[in-house]
Structures are given as C-alpha cells and as structure tokens.
Chain A
Amino acid sequence: MARKTPTFEEALAQLETIAEQIERGEIGLEESIARYEQGMALVQQCRDILTRAELKIQQLQERADGTPELTPMTPPPESS
C-alpha cells in the first residue's frame, strides 16, 4: 500500500503550519506565495481524496500457508 499521500489529519496539520508561517510574516512575500500555492495544492489533494466517489471493497481470506489473500469484492445485492 502506497503510504505517500499524507493522511487527512497530516494534511490539515501541514496546512496549519503553512498558514502560521505566512501569518507570522517571518518568510518573504515570494516565499509566502510559494507556500500558499503548496497549501492550495494540498487542499486540492485532500479534496480529491475525500470526493472519491466509489468505495474500495476487498475480501480478506487466509491461504492454507497462513498468508493473507485479498480479492476485490462487489457489494452484495441490497437485501432490504
């Protein structure tokens, strides 16, 4: 599993940090704008994750040798 994308919490924390850096005015205007753009990209990334439309469902089984086996699964039909 690729763990490259930050979790939602991590992303929010990063956004906080960037906002603080800009608010404190310790970094220059150019740098601030660069950070701002970085932050906006992060926002977009989070939004993309959050607005993923389809649930990813997998079924877990154990093979005879005790290793896990994941198979994609479609939701069972509605049993109302």
Chain B
Amino acid sequence: MRINEKTGEVTHRPTLKKNKITRRHRVVHERIERTKKVDSRFDARRSPIKWKTFHPRNIGVVYLYGLIWVVFLLWVPDTWLTWLTHRSVLNQNAILVVVAIGLLVPLSAGVFDLSIAGTISASAVMAAWGMVEQGWSIPVAILAALAVGVVVGNLNGFLVVKIRIDSFIATLATSSILTAFAVWRSNNRSILGFPDAFKSLTTQFGLGLNRTVLYALVLGFVLWFVFEHTALGRYLFATGGAREAARLAGVQTNRYIWGSLVTSAVFASIAGVLLASQFGSTQAQSGAPYLLPSFAAAFLGATQFKDRFNVWGTVLAVFVLQSGVKGLQLAGVGTTWIESLFFGIALLVAVGFSSFRKRVYGGQRRWWRREESGPEFFLGKLLGWGRVKGDQSKQNAQEWWFDPEDTEGHHIKPS
C-alpha cells in the first residue's frame, strides 16, 4: 500500500496479477486514482516472457534430448526412428523412476537414504520366497514385501531421529543388513517360477508400453501433488532447507524426517515387487544397480525447472539419459559400460553448471557472468524492453551513498 504523505490518502493498492504467458502471479501496485503523473522514464518495464525459463541452465536436459535426437538421427537413423527403441527406454526405466522419485522425499527433507538398493532386493526376495517356497497367495506376498519396506523405513527413522546417527551411516548399515537378509532368504540363488498372475502385474497395456510406466506416472503424479500443492510439501522442503529454522517455525522436523524415510523405503519395496514381476525371477543382488542411477537422477533433476528436488525434473532426467545410453548402445558403442559413463558425465556437467552460476562471490565480475549478458538483455535492447537509460545519475542522486562533491567518480554503489 502506498500512502500519499501529504494528504494521507491511499494512492496505490497491492494486488496480484497473473501474467498470461508465464502464468505467474506478481505483486502490482494498482493505482487507485491518478493523483500524480508518473515519469515514464522511471517505468521499469519487464519483458513479457521470462527468458530464464528457456535458459539451458533451467531446462538443459530438454536441449540435451534435442541434441541426442539430432546425433542419433544422423548416426543410426534406421533403428532410432522406430517406436520400439523409445518404448523400450520407457519400459526398462520405469522401475528406476519409481525408486528415484521415492528417494526425492528424504533428500528434500535433508537426509540420505542409501538403503533403497537393499530394500529393493529384500522386498523382491520376500515376495518371491513367499510365493514360491511358502505358497502364499499373491496379495499376501505383495503385502509382505511392502511390510519389509515399512519395517526398514521405521528402522531408519528410529536410527536417524531417535538415536541420532547420521542418515548416511545409518542407512548404509541397514542396507548391509538387508543384503544379508536377502541372501539368507534366497540361499544366494535365483528364485524362479512365479505364478502367471503375478507376472501379469507388469504386462503391456497398449502401444507396447509396460504397466510399470503407468505405475511410475501415477506415483509421480501423487508425489508431485504432495510436493507442490500441500502444506506437507512445504514442511518437507523447510526441514531440508534449514532444519533448526523449520523447527523454530513450529514444523515437527523429526516427524517429517522419519516419515520421509518410511516413504522412500515403501517406494523401494514397490519397485522390488515390480522388479520381481517384470523379470520373472529374483536374486539377492537385484536392487544394487539402482542405487547410483537413482541418486544421479535425483540430483540432476534438482537442477531442472526449479532450484530444488522435483519430480518431473527427475523423471525427465532418467528418460533423457537413458535415451542417450540407448542410442549409443544401438550404435554399438560400449554396450556394457556406457550407461555408467553417461550418467556420471551428465551429472557432473549439470550440477557443475548450476553451482557455477551460484558462485556470486570470489573472482571478478567478468562480462559473461553479468546478468546483463544474458539473452534477455540483448533481445530486450533489440525490442526496446527494460529501463530507459540515461537517467541513472539522477536516480543515484537520491541514494544515501551518493556524494555530490565527489568529482573523481567514487560515488559508485557499494557492492
């Protein structure tokens, strides 16, 4: 609210306006009555489109996907241009998506969960052992597998919150215990011979897509809703951002940390069940390959769209990176080792880019580090957006640091 100091009447009222293109609200001071003519030279008009949205730093993975398309279109056009290629990327990585988005919950609450790989193997083995050796019915076996997740999550929560072991160490330890459990139950052999009804959990449902893709999308949607649209999401991010500050704001941080560890363990056990169903067999080490890619996807996703962990960034990161891996495999480049290499390089490049920008202090202000060097500046100059130049000195004269007697040009704004 702006008040005319002389007359005491309200001249402007703060309101929210939605930008039609970017769909964001911003605070605008709506003039109630035109008492005073505003000098148009001080009108700081902004461009209608936020170029930051399309900056490679923000949606780099999308540009990477475009690059991957161009490269493999030229390199292996025959195989790249088939639906089979792309749907197999989706089918093979839906389980990784489930694990990675489950992992987002503890990461956004500020704790690590390294036990996800162990939970996947243990719950897969639990379901398989129940069905094949104990003869449990399918729902009972699935419930038993999910119970593994619940127990592991609560154990992690207890260790991290109550005993106050660092989450990294506590979950590493439980991971080892879970591996022991899986080896013990499976006798270190593959368990085969599931009922067909169990295998049909992950059959194709149309367009050659697997049901796991559907499950991953549904779970992703649920988590996205919780993260972005509920108070719970706010509390989770507040806990992860500054735990003590959140606690002093009345957030029950311990409860959310505990709950986040349970969530990730349950997501991992869901992934374990899907894994057993999709492969038709299971063994004690089946979850191990999911640990590092899921962390990589979570961190890579955190650099996309927002400055924090988010579901669709993670999903997209998995899809694009695995498309690249698929293309390289089709081209016959290092079929076995290319996946790890690709993930590692992509993670380094993406995270390196985003932390490079954040380094505000240190080093001099080079022209390429300045905000004015962005595409918005040059385009804005071309189209006449932005502040009208030429009156900077007049504006400066109003500032507290301005020294009118300084003739040597020291009246620079202190940084």
Is the A/B pair a real complex? Answer: no
